């Protein structure tokens, strides 16, 4: 372990005693001095007691002379956001001081571990340190047992320990005397700053600057990486029959590659792993010292990345790197940090237009296979030469890696990133970094592993760092009850563990399958493409960018909602296929009727999670399962854009474009585009519930004829045409104005002359919410009929 790694680790451990102290005070009404509690972890729990002297340093009141102590002291203060000393004393009142919620500082997180149930804002806190500590100690003992007598994998033990601290201290405050940050986030950022400062060439000079309160010099570099062309990479050239084999795997490959590239960078720059701030949603951020040597190495790394992506992916996708210098003041002053985040965002945006800097490349740019023909062309990518597989399709090595990743995500619980290949099944990700999937860590050698992850998307702790990479895809074991139905259609279903898009479509509207026959309900899939509304403006104008620690905690929690909460809460054992879920967006394929319900649940809980500060818009596309996935994805993206442009109805009629909307009168976005119409979520939910209930009740008394339903759709079209009338055609306007009289005539002649209950509702729906009514009626029809 290098010296900068030791300093980073010591900085991470320096305040771990706060957790134990609060537990003892709560249970015994007394506690020892905070300085003594690190002994519990360093000695009793056998977590690297050799760092005792370094950890003691953080409690000094003045900057000590020893370099290592000074580095830790400075790192702690920068992470905290000021150089003030903590002066509070524990008492029963401040012990219950909760962590304020990221979306509303008037609300809080409960004193609980990070889980799907604990991320929502509350008015009155629940939970206590006693229960929290006991659960933590139970899991800590599991780490001790797993890694007992395994000294050569100490770094994996520390990764598991850090994850455990993330799980149990993310939602408790670092300080109890003021509006504080997350304890875990403070420790994590302290470790990052300590490692980076310890890596500075002129660290002694920097310590003197801080001692003299000179915070202006740009001593740091924030490195940002961005995987561009993600959607094209995932969807282009994917044949429908192979979609289930590759889509999730290609998405996972991006996540794995981004993490490996971050590891590669810190390795090349001789930085501790703590320097990696984040790796999610196809992006990474790393903090480094600002020096000529670092910048020179970064430029070389850029070239390596460009060569890799140009040779392997023909320049259609890649990872761009940019870096922005930062001063100590940028991490201490709220306005300076906001300006710094803006500079970084501008650099990342500009990076999208530079990409490979092809004008600077003199040598050969692309590598391509020779002698490619229709017989040996890869059936998956349609770009490289392949060879015939056991499954009788032609596939290249790169696409075969995706297939293997997809299989492994479903069949294994663990993933190791290693500097060596353990066997022939290991896949090289980038320049000597391999991945290895397995189901039992005790069965493999871990010595040369860079990292080891439990990748199952659940909330169980198995003694290792968690990375919910597997997300959720429907597998045959959960849907065996439909086997006979599939056989009745003379289809060879369930050939693979993962359900194909055809199989997902087959089990849509499952209530329509009776005695292995589909009596009602359309077989179709639906794509859900959605993301958060107004995230950029919220970040810009809220307090989440008031400090480095707050911003990283905010980004991590939003990613947690989509990558962990949504799959675990709404997708388990459902007919869904997750393409990607993370950052602030989501793309899911599945049985069409289930996708509609999923989109409502994701949106509603996102509103609760953000305390109505942010909304979630969605584009939904219903399709036959044999349509090209790239086409479905493109339409879904377009439908999402329509939802983003949606504006609620004016008082007189309707407006459709956000730019035409008076924001003081109208609700923007928070919309869904479904069956070609964009609507406000709340209005659609209300009308949908009313329409489905009314027609279900109606069919108990009368026969619901297809002609009736299509007549109602036609009348809704007439009303919709009036909302944006064609003023040049007065005849059409007059014709459409007759919709109400036509409805009354049709209803009394074909349905009932004296039962007006449904007629009154139809009048109201078509008059006030014709689009929402039409969409709801479409759903009702598709659940009743048997053909698209």
3-class secondary-structure state, position 227: strand
Element (H, E) at 108: none
Average pLDDT over residues 286-290: 97
For 238-397, list the strands marked E by DSSP.
276-280, 283-289, 318-326, 387-388, 394-395
3-class secondary-structure state, position 757: helix
Q: Is the pLDDT of residue 278 over 90?
A: yes
Q: Is the pLDDT of residue 653 over 50?
A: no
Give the residue carrying structure tokens 């409502």. Answer: 600
141 vs 144: CA distance, rounded Å:
5
pLDDT reported for residue 1:
74
- Of 77, 94, 92, 103, residue with least CA distance to 26: 92
CB 717: neighbour CB atoms within 10 A? 15
pLDDT reported for residue 65:
67
Segment among 325-339, 403-417, 698-712, 719-733 with least mean pLDDT? 719-733
718 vs 714: CA distance, rounded Å:
6
CB 603: neighbour CB atoms within 10 A? 21
Greater pLDDT, 40 or 546:
546
Q: Is the pLDDT of residue 519 over 60?
A: yes
Q: Is the pLDDT of residue 119 over 60?
A: yes
What rounded mean pLDDT belongs to the chain?
Answer: 87
Q: From residue 472, give the alpha-carbon distance in Å to each of 488, 507, 531, 585.
A: 28, 17, 18, 15
Q: Is the pLDDT of residue 251 over 80?
A: yes
pLDDT reported for residue 725:
59
- Of 169, 519, 210, 225, residue with least CA distance to 347: 225
Residue 460 CB contacts under 8 Å (≥ 6 apart), including other chains = none
Q: Rg for the chain (alpha carbons), in Å?
A: 29
- The band of 273, judged by pLDDT with boundaries at 50, 70 and 90, is very high
Q: Is the pLDDT of residue 381 over 90?
A: no
Average pLDDT over residues 291-298: 97
Sheet holding 283-289, edge to edge: 276-280, 283-289, 220-228, 318-326
- For the record, the structure tokens of 63 come out as 């900057």
pLDDT reported for residue 701:
82
- Of 324, 323, 306, residue with least CA distance to 315: 306
- For the record, the structure tokens of 336 come out as 């300076």
The pLDDT tens digits for 579-634 are: 999 989 999 999 999 999 999 999 999 999 999 999 999 999 999 999 999 999 99
Q: Considering the chain, what percentage of its residues have pLDDT values greater than 70? A: 90
Query: For the chain, first and last CA: distance in Å?
Result: 63
> CA neighbours within 13 Å on the CB side: how many for 632?
30
Bridge partners for 591 per DSSP = 525
Bridge partners for 280 per DSSP = 283
pLDDT reported for residue 662:
52
- The band of 382, judged by pLDDT with boundaries at 50, 70 and 90, is confident
- For the record, the structure tokens of 660 come out as 């035409």
- The band of 705, judged by pLDDT with boundaries at 50, 70 and 90, is confident
- The band of 92, judged by pLDDT with boundaries at 50, 70 and 90, is confident
- Of 226, 232, 233, residue with least CA distance to 280: 226
476 vs 160: CA distance, rounded Å:
32
Its sign, for the CA torsion 699, 701, 704, 708, is negative
- The band of 369, judged by pLDDT with boundaries at 50, 70 and 90, is confident
Its sign, for the CA torsion 74, 78, 79, 85, is positive
Cβ atoms of residues 599 and 671 within 8 Å: no
Q: CA angle, 287 as apex, 283 and 292 as ends, to 5°?
A: 115
Element (H, E) at 617: strand 616-623
pLDDT reported for residue 468:
93
pLDDT reported for residue 466:
96
- Which among 12-21, 124-133, 236-245, 703-712 has the top mean pLDDT? 124-133
Q: Is the pLDDT of residue 524 over 90?
A: yes
- The band of 367, judged by pLDDT with boundaries at 50, 70 and 90, is low
Residue 90 CB contacts under 8 Å (≥ 6 apart), including other chains = 21, 22, 25, 31, 176
Give the residue carrying structure tokens 């706060």. Answer: 18
Residue 290 CB contacts under 8 Å (≥ 6 apart), including other chains = 218, 219, 220, 221, 325, 326
Its sign, for the CA torsion 382, 384, 385, 390, is negative
pLDDT reported for residue 683:
93
Element (H, E) at 146: helix 129-146
């Amino acid at each position: 372990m290098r010296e900068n790694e030791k300093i980073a680790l010591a900085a991470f451990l320096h305040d771990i005693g706060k957790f134990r102290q609060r537990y003892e005070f709560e249970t015994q009404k007394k506690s020892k001095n905070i300085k003594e509690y690190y002994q519990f972890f360093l000695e009793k729990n056998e977590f690297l007691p050799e760092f005792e002297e370094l950890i003691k340093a953080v409690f000094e009141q003045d900057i000590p002379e020893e370099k290592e102590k000074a580095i830790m002291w400075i790192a702690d203060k920068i992470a905290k956001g000021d150089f003030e000393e903590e002066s509070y004393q524990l008492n029963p009142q401040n012990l219950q001081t909760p962590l304020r919620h990221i979306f509303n500082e008037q609300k809080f997180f409960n004193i609980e571990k990070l889980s799907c149930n604990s991320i929502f804002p509350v008015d009155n806190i629940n939970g206590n340190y006693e229960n929290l500590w006991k659960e933590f100690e139970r899991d800590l003992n599991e780490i001790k047992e797993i890694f007992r007598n395994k000294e050569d994998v100490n770094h994996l033990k520390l990764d598991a320990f850090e994850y455990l601290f993330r799980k149990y201290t993310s939602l408790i405050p670092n300080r109890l005397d003021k509006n504080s940050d997350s304890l875990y986030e403070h420790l994590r950022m302290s470790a990052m700053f300590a490692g980076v400062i310890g890596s500075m060439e002129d660290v002694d000079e920097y310590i003197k600057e801080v001692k003299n309160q000179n915070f202006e010099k740009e001593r740091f570099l924030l490195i940002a990486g961005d995987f561009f062309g993600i959607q094209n990479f995932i969807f282009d050239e994917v044949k429908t029959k192979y979609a289930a084999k590759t889509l999730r795997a290609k998405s996972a490959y991006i996540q794995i590659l981004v993490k490996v590239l971050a590891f590669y960078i810190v390795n090349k720059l001789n930085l501790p792993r703590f320097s990696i701030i984040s790796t999610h949603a196809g992006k990474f951020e790393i903090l480094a010292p600002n020096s000529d040597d670092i910048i020179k190495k970064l430029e070389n790394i850029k070239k390596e990345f460009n060569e890799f992506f140009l040779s392997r992916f023909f320049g259609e996708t890649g990872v761009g790197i940019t870096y922005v210098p930062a001063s100590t003041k940028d991490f201490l002053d709220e306005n300076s940090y906001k300006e710094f985040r803006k500079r970084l965002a501008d650099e990342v945006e500009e990076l999208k237009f530079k990409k490979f800097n092809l004008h600077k490349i003199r040598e050969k740019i692309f590598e391509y296979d020779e002698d490619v023909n229709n017989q040996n062309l890869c059936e998956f990518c349609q770009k490289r030469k392949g060879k015939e597989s056991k499954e009788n399709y032609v596939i290249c090595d790169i696409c075969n890696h995706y297939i293997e990743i997809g299989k492994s995500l479903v069949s294994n619980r663990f993933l190791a990133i290693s500097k060596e290949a353990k066997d022939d099944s290991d896949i090289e990700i980038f320049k000597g970094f391999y991945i290895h999937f397995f189901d039992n860590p005790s069965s493999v050698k871990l010595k040369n592993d860079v990292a080891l992850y439990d990748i199952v998307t659940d909330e169980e702790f198995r003694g290792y760092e968690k990375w919910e990479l597997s997300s959720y895809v429907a597998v045959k074991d959960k849907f065996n009850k439909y086997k006979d139905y599939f056989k009745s259609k003379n289809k060879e279903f369930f050939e693979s563990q993962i359900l194909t898009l055809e199989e997902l479509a087959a089990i849509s509207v499952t209530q329509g399958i009776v005695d292995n026959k589909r009596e009602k309900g359309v077989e179709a899939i639906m794509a859900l493409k959605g993301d958060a509304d107004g995230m950029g403006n919220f970040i810009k104008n809220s307090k989440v960018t008031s400090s480095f620690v707050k911003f990283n905690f905010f980004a991590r929690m939003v990613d947690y909602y989509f990558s962990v909460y949504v799959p675990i809460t709404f997708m388990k054992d459902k007919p869904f296929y997750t393409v990607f879920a993370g950052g602030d967006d989501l793309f899911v394929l599945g049985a069409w009727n289930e996708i509609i319900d999923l989109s409502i649940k994701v949106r509603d809980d996102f509103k609760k999670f953000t305390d109505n500060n942010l909304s979630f818009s969605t584009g939904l596309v219903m399709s036959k399962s044999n349509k090209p996935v790239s086409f479905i994805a493109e339409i879904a993206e377009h439908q999402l854009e329509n939802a983003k442009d949606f504006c609620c109805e004016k008082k007189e009629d309707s407006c459709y474009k956000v730019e035409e909307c008076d924001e003081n009168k109208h609700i923007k976005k928070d919309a869904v585009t479904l069956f070609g119409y964009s609507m406000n979520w709340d209005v659609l939910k209300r009308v949908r519930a009313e329409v489905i209930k009314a027609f279900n009740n109606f069919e108990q008394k009368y026969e619901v004829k297809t002609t009736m339903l299509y007549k109602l759709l036609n009348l809704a079209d007439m009303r919709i045409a009036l909302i944006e009338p064609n003023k040049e055609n007065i005849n059409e306007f007059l014709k459409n104005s007759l919709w109400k009289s036509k409805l009354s005539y049709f209803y009394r002649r074909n349905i009932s002359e004296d039962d007006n209950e449904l007629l009154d509702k139809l009048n109201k729906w078509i008059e006030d919410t014709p689009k929402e009514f039409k969409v709801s009626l479409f759903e009702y029809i598709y659940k009743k009929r048997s053909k698209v």
